[in-house]
């Protein structure tokens, strides 16, 4: 179940991004323009999975996203988690069989992640929400939000490095969520307070 928590008052997007710089694969899609063409901004980090640049990144992203399809919550910004990242111009050049400029092989052609949470701003309405795909990432108990952070343990993991990674994620989340602002809880359809 997708959960949405409205942040009231809405935090500044750039300031919020700065608070999350300790998280891996930070993705900040900021609309500096205001009005209908610059309505939304989004911030997410710590994807639950990443697309390998060794394959067709769009096909891999579609396959990764398919089992996670969910209907968006109404009256919220349109990106509520999913695939985010970048595709380099050089990736397009490869598709068109155009020779790459010298020195462009140092940057990956694609970096895409599957994100199960996002902070979304609607600049026209002057509102912001944390949206998460389930209580694994965002849970409420007695009016307190709990946001889970962790590291992936695999056969060749360094336990000390995984522990340090988990602490870095938790510190960034604590810093971002403890600024002085009131958070209101919303599940399912969003209703604006009267």
Mean pLDDT of the chain: 77
Residue 192 forms part of a structural domain: no
User: Which domain does 109 fall in, by range?
Assistant: 3-187
Q: Are 126 and 10 in contact (CB under 8 A)?
A: yes
Residue 31 forms part of a structural domain: yes
Least confident of 81-85, 110-114, 153-157: 153-157
pLDDT number for residue 55: 74
Residue 51 forms part of a structural domain: yes
In the chain, count of helices (H) and strands (E)? 4, 11
Residue 193 forms part of a structural domain: no
**Nearest to 63, CA basis, from 47, 83, 92:** 83
> Tokens for 55?
């394959």
pLDDT number for residue 28: 96
Predicted confidence band of residue 115 (pLDDT cuts 50, 70, 90) = very high
Residues 19-45 have a mean pLDDT of 87
Residue 69 forms part of a structural domain: yes
pLDDT number for residue 189: 41
Residue 78 forms part of a structural domain: yes
Predicted confidence band of residue 169 (pLDDT cuts 50, 70, 90) = low
pLDDT number for residue 145: 53
Cα–Cα distance, 182 to 130 (Å, whole number): 13
The 10s digit of each residue's pLDDT in 33-81 is 777 778 999 999 999 999 876 778 899 999 999 999 888 999 999 999 9
pLDDT number for residue 140: 45
Q: Say which CATH number the domain at 38 has.
A: 3.60.120.10
Whether pLDDT at 109 is above 90: no
pLDDT number for residue 105: 64
Residue 82 forms part of a structural domain: yes
Please provide the DSSP assignment of 124-137 as one string.
TTTEEEEEESSTTT
pLDDT number for residue 61: 93
Highest-confidence range of 75-89, 104-118, 141-155, 162-176, by mean pLDDT? 75-89
pLDDT number for residue 114: 95
Number of domains in the chain: 1
pLDDT number for residue 147: 59
Residue 144 forms part of a structural domain: yes
Residues 100-104 have a mean pLDDT of 66
């Amino acid at each position: 179940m997708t959960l949405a928590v409205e942040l009231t008052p809405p935090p500044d997007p750039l300031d919020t991004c700065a608070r999350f710089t300790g998280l891996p694969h930070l993705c900040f899609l900021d609309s500096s323009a205001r009005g209908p063409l610059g309505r939304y901004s989004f911030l997410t980090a710590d994807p639950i999975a990443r697309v390998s640049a060794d394959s067709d990144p769009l096909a891999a992203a579609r396959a990764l996203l398919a089992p996670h399809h969910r209907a968006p919550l109404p009256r919220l910004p349109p990106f509520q988690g999913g695939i985010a990242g970048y595709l380099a111009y050089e990736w397009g050049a490869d598709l068109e069989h155009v020779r790459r400029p010298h020195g462009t092989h140092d940057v990956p052609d694609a970096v895409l992640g599957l994100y199960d949470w996002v902070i979304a701003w609607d600049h026209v309405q002057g509102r912001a929400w944390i949206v998460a795909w389930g209580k694994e990432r965002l849970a409420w108990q007695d009016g307190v939000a709990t946001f889970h952070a962790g590291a992936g343990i695999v056969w060749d993991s360094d336990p000390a490095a995984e522990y340090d990674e988990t602490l870095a994620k938790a510190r960034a989340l604590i810093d971002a969520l403890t600024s002085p602002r009131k958070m209101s809880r919303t599940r399912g359809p969003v209703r604006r307070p009267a």
